[in-house]
Amino acid sequence: MTTKTIELQEAQQRLLELVAQVAAGTEIILTDGQTPRARLVPFANAPKRRVAGLHAGSITVSPDFDTPLSDEFWTGTV
């Protein structure tokens, strides 16, 4: 992503052009003198909704999944 720095007063005159540049992927930093005041970045689209059951059966859990582990496992003497 490229970044441009523009004075606030200039930005007021070129707002439509700047919005088009931001939509194309350019980040715009608005400054008041040497002080940055705002940043224009592209609007992030909302993530797509997840659909339950798309990968049904692709993950399996072993029958002993929730069986407690032995003391030897925890002490490192396995």
CB distance 44 to 31 below 8 Å: no
Kindly report whether the global pTM for this prediction surpasses the value 0.85: no
Which CATH number is 3-40 given?
A: 3.40.1620
Paired residues of 7 in beta bridges? 31
Per residue in 14-67, pLDDT (tens digit) is: 999 999 999 999 999 999 999 999 999 988 887 888 888 888 889 889 999 999
| DSSP state at residue 44 | P
